[in-house]
Chains A and B, each alone.
Chain A
Amino acid sequence: MKKLFALAMAMIMALSMVSFAAAEDTTLTIVAWDVNTTGYLTAQKEAYEASHPGVKIEYIDVSSQDYDVKVGAMLAAGDTSDIFMIKTVPGLMNWNDAGYAMSLNDYIAASNYLSGFVGMETNYNYNGEQVALPFRSDFWVLFYNKTLFDNAGVAYPTNDMTWEEYKEKAIAMSGNGVYGAHNHTWLSACVNWAVCDGVNTLIDGEYSDLAYFYQLVQDLEDAGACMPYTEITASGLHYSGAFGNGNIAMLPMGYWYVATLINNIKSGDYNVSDWGIAAVPHKEDVKAGSTFGNLTGAMINKKAKNPDAAWDYISWLCSEEGSKVTAGTGNRPAWVSEGVADVMSSVDGFPQDENSKAALLPSYVAIEIPGDPNASAISSILGEEHSAIMTREISIEEGIEEMNDRVQELLAK
């Protein structure tokens, strides 16, 4: 009897200690990808923990390649992590459809919060429900290797260059093992530029505007001015390694590459020393400085253990304070003010010329692929035809006809 009593006491004490500890410390669980190498995640965690004593942040690391798959499975199984980072808009749409995302409307109404996003948050708004907020926005810019341009005596790319000028420059820069350009294998790096006019989208079932860009990339390949698609895919060459090799003059790529580039140059892994960024080229009839981009955001799990604390974290992430932290790691926050822009250009290792700084302010940012119930199905169709065109198994015209036919068939269902 005594023993039993002692045991019961011990259990009560243990339990009360647990609850006592819980009252003191909130642990926010955040599901994200590439936690150890994505600089901003660590910086955000440290900054938030420093200014919010009593809150601990714990990341769950998911491989970036399988992020949507794994998170989908976690949510389906009733995971209770508080915050999920959003990698793709279709991913968020599906999780929201399935009822996993908490509506942020009430929170936002209470804090009158949305002004700093200049409309970008609408990509996460479905049927009037704001189900996530973006904290990072990556538009595409043109990276170039200044050393190569200096050696060749060719003028640097400018912020108002057209695609024809890009092609000429790329061809002029090529030879002796140097490629003038590297349009990576993705559909987005080859032809997504067609959406920069603000009229075209990738979900409308009409793709004749992509022809111009397919022709451009194939011309570059034929002129030996960029590595052929077939070689890049077969070797699994990563664009960062390609540019890091130091034999590529111009690389159109998302802004996220800035942080990687700076880090790898610092650590000596890259053969690149002097580089700059310019706005992506534009078509004659499109405003200079137009580009496209996508968002990274955060949503609150409906089954979150600490929804209020989670909201506090997200609202901090998307505030001036949080955005400065994100900007300080070489990333572009979604919520931008002048103060934030200053932080972006003063990052150690960021090119200090005026053109590169000016390229931080695009004139127009289209969304890469809008949120739409068909977006992911269309993406796979476009991806399949893209690979057929780029391997030249079919002609550009045939490929675009296939895209039109197949997507229209899908839309008609």
Chain B
Amino acid sequence: MSEYKLKSVRRDNKALQRVNKALIYIALVALSIFTLIPFVWMLSSSLKLDREVFAFPMRWIPETFHWENYIVIWTKVPMLTFFKNTAIVALSVTLIQTLTSSFAAYAFAKLRFRGRDTLFLCYIATIAVPWQTYMIPQFVEMRAFGLYDNLQSIMVLQAFSAFGVFLMRQFYQGIPTELCEAARIDGLSEYGIWARIMLPLSKAAIATLVIFTFVGTWNDYMGPMIYLSHDSVKTVQVGLRRFIQENSSDYHLIMAASMVSLIPVSIVFLCLQKYFIEGIATSGLKG
């Protein structure tokens, strides 16, 4: 009897699992649509005339497709320069940020030294301060260094953020200290441990940090707005504001340029996303 019951339970389970799976798919698809709707609207608006963008009732498919919007954005403002500047800044910030913060994080996570907790508290505390409050003193400083109206200002502004150190430290703490101990006994220096053990093990965290930094720098508005004045050094997000003027606005062009500016960040994400999964799984680290 018990065997019979078990069988039926198993059959029920299978049916249940199938229903479950279907439900999960429906939920996922619904959620994906919910996630993508604003982007669809952006795309459709980018192909309209300005006055059609907010026309009501809304049309998902434009009456006529104004592909020329995608050409106008490059000619009406020096968009290509803006893209080039943004790329330079975003790439260098990402590089410096990832390197220096994983370096520092190793010390915070795996080394014992006096003043460690105080130093780390400094980092944490500044994460909590909104940039708007210390923007002006920082600006005064940058000017004194002659970095005003210079792409390097945005680089140093973004590259040493406390966030990176915090993220990498959290991750390194999850890596067993025994690994480092063993390496020390094998005669590896601390630098060797960082390069040969920590770095390869932290692909996932590095990927997370790279995406976070790249996206943050790419989409930053306030920093470039304050620090950059000449067109030759402006970035995309500041450049976008060129389409919102005091007496007129070109929302169709903003949407078109925003669509284009999505491309690089999407590429970075798509390239890196496999590391989220591989990162730890292939490290042979099982607790």
Give the B-binding residues of A (Cβ under 8 A). Answer: 33-34, 36-38, 60-66, 69-70, 73-74, 76-79, 231, 235-238, 240-241, 244-245, 256-257, 259-260, 264, 269-271
Whole-angstrom CA separation of A157 from B241 in the bound complex: 36
Contact partner of B139 (CB less than 8 A), chosen from A63, A66, A76, is A76
10 tightest CB-CB pairs across the interface, nearest first?
A64-B246, A77-B143, A238-B249, A235-B54, A260-B247, A63-B241, A245-B51, A240-B248, A34-B245, A237-B54
Chain A residues in 8 Å Cβ range of B49: 269
> 19 A–B contact pairs at CB < 8 A?
A34-B247, A36-B242, A60-B229, A60-B230, A63-B238, A65-B244, A74-B229, A76-B140, A77-B139, A77-B140, A77-B142, A238-B248, A238-B251, A240-B247, A240-B248, A240-B249, A241-B53, A244-B50, A245-B55
Bound CA span A76–B143, Å: 10
Across-interface contacts of B248 in A (CB, < 8 A): 37, 238, 240-241, 260, 264
CB distance from A236 to the nearest CB of B (A): 7
What residues of chain B lie closer than 8 Å to A245, measured between beta carbons? 51, 55
Q: Which residues of A contact B142 (CB under 8 A)?
A: 77
Residues in A with CB closer than 8 Å to B22 are none
Q: Mark contacts of B244-259 with chain A using CB atoms, 8 A cut-off: 1 yes-contact digit, 0 otherwise.
A: 1111110100000000
Q: In the complex, which residues of chain B have a beta carbon less than 8 angstroms from the beta carbon of A69?
A: 225-226
Min CB distance B140 to A, Å, is 5
A70 in contact with B226 (CB, 8 Å): yes
Which chain B residues border A260 with CB–CB below 8 Å? 247-248
Q: Known pairs A34-B247, A260-B247. 13 more at Cβ < 8 A?
A: A63-B242, A64-B246, A76-B136, A77-B140, A79-B143, A231-B56, A235-B56, A236-B54, A241-B53, A256-B246, A256-B247, A264-B248, A269-B51
Residues of chain B contacted by A256 (CB below 8 angstroms): 246-247
Cα distance, A166 to B136, chains bound together (Å) = 47
Residues of B contacting A236 in the complex (Cβ-Cβ under 8 angstroms): 54, 251
Main secondary structure of the interface of A (DSSP, over half): mixed
Residues of chain A within 8 A (CB-CB) of B26 are: none
State the Cβ distance, A59 to closest chain B Cβ, in Å: 10
Contact check: which of A61, A231, A244 meets B51 at CB < 8 Å? A244
Cα A74 to Cα B143 in complex, Å, equals 9
B231 in the interface (beta carbon within 8 A) = yes
Does B260 make an interface contact (CB < 8 A)?
A: no
Q: How far is the CB of B155 from chain A (nearest CB, A)?
A: 18
Q: Are B244 and A77 neighbours in the complex by a CB distance under 8 Å?
A: no
| Choice from B135, B143, B225, B247 contacting A63 with Cβ under 8 Å | B225
A113 to chain B, nearest CB (A): 28
Give the distance in Å from the alpha carbon of A38 to the alpha carbon of B251 in the complex: 18
Nearest neighbor of B244 in chain A, beta-carbon distance: A65
Contacts of A237 in B (CB 8 A): 54
Q: Which A residues are CB-close (under 8 A) to B123?
A: none
B275 in the interface, Cβ–Cβ < 8 Å?
no
Query: Which residue, A69, A256, A259, has most C-beta atoms of chain B within 10 A?
Result: A69
Can you list, as one digit per residue, whether each of B43-61 has a CB less than 8 Å from chain A (1) or not (0)?
0000001110111100000
Question: Cα distance A77–B77 when bound, in Å?
Answer: 28
A61 and B249 contacting across the interface, CB-CB below 8 Å: no
Q: Which of B50, B77, B140 contacts A269 (CB 8 A)?
A: B50
Least Cβ–Cβ distance between B177 and chain A, in angstroms: 46
* Cβ contact within 8 Å between A257 and B229: no
Contacts of B160 in A (CB 8 A): none
Q: Which residues of B contact A33 (CB under 8 A)?
A: 246
Tell me if B229 and A241 are in contact (CB < 8 A). no
Q: Are B51 and A34 in contact (CB under 8 A)?
A: no
Q: How far is the CB of B57 from chain A (nearest CB, A)?
A: 11
Closest to A29 in B: B229
CB <8 Å contact, B226 and A64: no
Determine the chain A residues whose CB is within 8 A of the CB of B140 once the complex forms.
76-78
Which chain A residues border B246 with CB–CB below 8 Å?
33-34, 38, 64, 256
In the complex, the answer to whether B249 meets A73 with C-beta atoms within 8 Å is: no
Does B148 sit within 8 A of A, measured CB to CB?
A: yes
Q: Establish whether residues B245 and A62, one from each chain, have CB atoms under 8 Å apart when the complex forms.
A: no
A33 to chain B, nearest CB (A): 7
**How far apart are the CA atoms of A238 and B245 in the complex, in Å?**
10
Q: Judging by beta carbons under 8 Å apart, are B135 and A73 in contact?
A: yes
Bound Cα distance A62, B242 (Å):
9
> How many angstroms between the C-alpha atoms of A271 and B55 in the bound complex?
13
Bound form: Cα–Cα A37–B248 in Å: 9
Is the beta-carbon distance between A73 and B139 smaller than 8 angstroms? yes
A264 CB contacts on chain B under 8 angstroms: 248
Contact status A65-B241, CB under 8 Å: yes
Contacts of A269 in B (CB 8 A): 49-51
Q: Once bound together, how far apart are the Cα atoms of A271 and B248, in whole Å?
A: 15
* Nearest chain A residue, comparing its CB with the CB of B229: A60
Distance between A182 CB and nearest chain B CB, rounded to angstroms: 13
Q: Closest residue to B231 on the A side, CB-wise?
A: A61
